[in-house]
Amino acid sequence: MDPLKSITPIDGRYREKVRLLEDYFSEYAFIKERVRIEIEYLIKFIDEVENSKIASLPSDWKNVLCEVYQNFSIRDAEEVKEIEKTVGHDVFAIVRYLMEKVDKCGLTVLKPYLHIGLTSEDVNNLAYSLLMKKFNEEVLIPYLLKLVDELSRLSLENINVVMLARTHSVPAVPTTFGRFLVNYAYRVAKIVEELSDIEFPGKIGGAIGDYNALKFVYPEIDWILFSKIFVESLGLTYFPAFTQTLPHEQLSNYLMKIALLDSILSNLCRDLWMLSLIEYISFQAGKHEVHSSTMPHKSNPILLENAEGAFDLSSEILSYISRRLLSSRLHRDLSDSIIKRFYGLPLSLTILGIQNLTSSLNRLEINKERMLKDVEEHPEVLSEAYQVFLRRHGFPEAYETIQRLLKENPQKIRGELEKRVPSEKLREIIKLAPHEYLGEAERIVKLLIREIEEIKNRIHSLKLR
């Protein structure tokens, strides 16, 4: 399909930026994963339940079956979709396709056991969890770690770059640009650690989750144990409390963490935008880019604004999906099916946002002189130091006195200090300049960077488990 004719921008305008996600959220990826599950289930079923059939099979029968999903192509997926047009059921179409494949591979004896005892939701829940798990490990976490690294790098590079902090938009006290950024680096790293430790669930259980048909036909098999071992062999966590559907709370927990992440990153975008507004930072346009159709001088933070919108939209969609999919009428209804098919939309928006935010940081230019000038032009930011210093020396009305003098005549503050504090103790407070009033800003940056490195090491250890 021509991207210009796509209905959503994800498959149109932003297609090239998120093309890699077609391996996780496309119809083709979903069909292929379900084909794999059907074949893996068939192999285990023959091995452990109908092993008398193995004698009539060629020695390489497992390899032959595995090649079906390993070599599954777009053309194969199109065959499945053609069958679906006739049968009107996506999973039954896959089963029908596999029966034809098994015939062609000379494994006809296996046909009766394809999808035996399963319901479509058994296959679908496993496919969704496996695709989500791969997306998390192969795409989301690596992208986020790159973002954390970029924020950490900028934090260290700007550890001493003095900046006027603002609370309620009003000048507060001095800080550093590195200290401002490291907060976000740490917050994102903590969520990445949580995402790295997520367990993705799965189940098989038949029509309503009680293994009715399988237990009736094969009473000698422990189907609960069989199912648990099969699910875990796929790299998923067996979830024992289910109906025909797998309860969604574990996946909802995962998606909600990403929704929270999106909100944090959207807030970072807005903070950077506001720092751009007051000319502390800027984002330079690419060599041949045009940022206004009428004003040639414009160099707008367009990637940052795009990222903010992507994060906000993704967060809202993921929050809805997380809540909505906790509900299922009695033992099954189909209202969840269409919603799950949109997993890829918010997660693509998240990746798009991370890409654009990271690109914005790479274009970041810092106006250190403007930051310092702003600090020095607001000497009143030392009022906190003055009133706490006076209180330290036993003056209980220090806050009210400094507040009054700031309004009446700030020049009188020094006289008040001299009147209240012994001269030998005045030198440090009198000499204090606004750009020196930084508290533990530098130390906090270093501490948090060390914490981030420890978090990254733990994430690496989780991958090796």
48 and 189 in a single domain? The answer is: no
Return the pLDDT at 464. Answer: 63
Indicate which CATH number applies to the domain containing 273. Answer: 1.20.200.10
151 and 10 in a single domain? The answer is: no
The CA-atom distances, in angstroms, between 4 and each of 15, 47, 246, 259, 417 are 10, 49, 37, 29, 70
Return the pLDDT at 295. Answer: 66
Domain stops at, among 60, 91, 116? 116
Return the active site residues. Answer: 168, 292
- How many Cα atoms within 13 Å fall on the side-chain side of residue 285? 12
Return the pLDDT at 308. Answer: 94
Residue 366 domain flag: yes
Residue by residue, pLDDT tens for the chain (465 residues) are 677 777 788 888 888 888 999 999 999 999 999 999 999 999 999 999 999 999 999 999 999 999 999 999 999 999 999 999 999 999 999 999 999 999 999 999 999 999 999 999 999 999 999 999 999 999 999 999 999 999 999 999 999 999 999 999 898 899 999 999 999 999 999 999 999 999 999 999 988 999 999 999 999 999 999 999 999 999 999 999 888 788 889 899 999 999 999 999 999 999 999 999 999 998 887 777 766 656 667 677 888 999 999 999 999 999 999 898 888 888 888 888 888 888 899 999 999 999 999 999 999 999 999 999 999 999 989 989 888 988 888 888 888 888 898 888 888 888 888 888 877 778 778 888 999 999 999 999 999 999 999 999 999 887 766
Domain stops at, among 82, 116, 150? 116
364 and 403 in a single domain? The answer is: no
Return the pLDDT at 293. Answer: 54
Return the pLDDT at 292. Answer: 60
192 and 311 in a single domain? The answer is: yes
450 and 363 in a single domain? The answer is: yes
Tell me the one-letter amino acid at 411.
Q
Distance CA 432, CA 115 (A): 77
Return the pLDDT at 84. Answer: 95
363 and 268 in a single domain? The answer is: yes
Residue 328 domain flag: yes
Domain stops at, among 89, 116, 143? 116
Give the domain range for residue 384. Answer: 378-432
Residues 6+ apart with CB under 8 A from 58: 64, 106, 107
282 and 425 in a single domain? The answer is: no
Q: pTM of the predicted model, to two decimals?
A: 0.92
334 and 392 in a single domain? The answer is: no
Residue 143 domain flag: yes
Summarize pLDDT for 377-404 with one digit per residue, the tens: 999 899 898 889 888 888 888 888 888 9
Indicate which CATH number applies to the domain containing 8. Answer: 1.10.275.10
Residue 216 domain flag: no
- Tell me the three-class secondary structure of the chain, residue by residue: CCHHHCCCHHHCCCCHHHHHHHHHHCHHHHHHHHHHHHHHHHHHHHHHCCHHHHHHCCCCHHHHHHHHHHCCCHHHHHHHHHHHHHHCCHHHHHHHHHHHHHHHCCCHHHHHHCCCCCCHHHHHHHHHHHHHHHHHHHHHHHHHHHHHHHHHHHHHHCCCCEEEEEECCEEEEEEEHHHHHHHHHHHHHHHHHHHHCCCCEECCCCCCCCCHHHHHHCCCCCHHHHHHHHHHHCCCEECCCCCCCCCCHHHHHHHHHHHHHHHHHHHHHHHHHHHHHCCCEEECCCCCCCCCCCCCCCCCCHHHHHHHHHHHHHHHHHHHHHHHCCCCCCCCCCHHHHHHCCCHHHHHHHHHHHHHHHHHHHCEEECHHHHHHHHHCCHHHHHHHHHHHHHHCCCCCHHHHHHHHHHHCHHHHHHHHHHHCCHHHCHHHHHCCHHHCCCCHHHHHHHHHHHHHHHHHHHHHHHHC
95 and 15 in a single domain? The answer is: yes
Residue 308 domain flag: yes
109 and 252 in a single domain? The answer is: no
Residue 57 domain flag: yes
Joined tokens for residue 362: 């790479």
The number of domains in the chain is: 3
Return the pLDDT at 351. Answer: 96
Distance CA 247, CA 129 (A): 12
74 and 107 in a single domain? The answer is: yes
Return the pLDDT at 298. Answer: 65
Residue 232 domain flag: no
**237-238 and 201-202 beta bridge pairing:** parallel
Residue 23 domain flag: yes
95 and 56 in a single domain? The answer is: yes
Summarize pLDDT for 312-362 with one digit per residue, the tens: 999 999 999 989 888 888 888 888 888 888 889 999 999 999 999 999 999
